[in-house]
Amino acid sequence: MAKKKIKEGVYLVIDPSMAPSLLFQRLEKALKTSISAVQIWDNWASGVDKDAVIEKILSLGRKYKVPVLMNNDWHLLKSYSFDGVHFDEVPENFEEIKIELTKRSIFAEKKDYIFGITCNNDMNLIDWATRNGMDYLSFCSMFPSATSNSCELVSLDSVHKARSISNLPIFLAGGIRPDNMKKFKDIDYQGVAIVSGIMGSSDPEDAASQYLQQLNNNEP
């Protein structure tokens, strides 16, 4: 199976601890816009039917032709038809992980997975990601954020430096709203990763559209 690409735009991160009916409803509304990718945050509520939630999200991803990635738990790629995995930090034994994922599992053919990683102000991490076959970088956190409270604040200078040493697509995350994206006007980046700004909205389709409109306004 050919690798799906993450296009420029809005990268949607969803919290599976949300009530499933609300999660699926809001996710599908957001997917009616031009979402670049969906990532399932590894934040599972106690007692949740993980199989059912994952399969429903993957089904919606297929319906709208949007790649779906798992956060951190790469083992799940061997049991479900995920398109890739996003790591919050450099995984131990990454080469062994890639080898493990090439082994035949439930799929009839090998999948060429998408790999992404959360970045900060450490340029050594950018160098590692570039050398080790990551497909995109996600900088967290650009602003203070309740859903990104484990991330250090990233300076605009760090993003500029990262672009000077890597050609990987850059996404910005953490506390981003349409009304503060003008601060990214002079940055060469490909999109924004959003959690509550879309999934916390009563109208996720409109919320996603506002981010997309602002991204278009920021284009040089």
Per-domain residue ranges of the chain? 9-218
Tens of each residue's pLDDT in the chain, 220 residues: 556 678 999 999 999 999 999 999 999 999 999 999 999 999 999 999 999 999 999 999 999 999 999 999 999 999 999 999 999 999 999 999 998 988 755 554 557 899 999 999 999 999 999 999 999 999 999 999 877 667 889 999 999 999 999 999 999 999 999 999 999 999 999 999 999 999 999 999 999 999 999 999 876 5
Specify the CATH number of the domain 9-218.
3.20.20.70
Q: Which pLDDT belongs to residue 220?
A: 55
3-class SS of residue 208? helix
CA 122 to each of CA 23, 138, 140, 164, 184: distance values in angstroms, whole numbers, following the listed order: 34, 13, 12, 14, 19
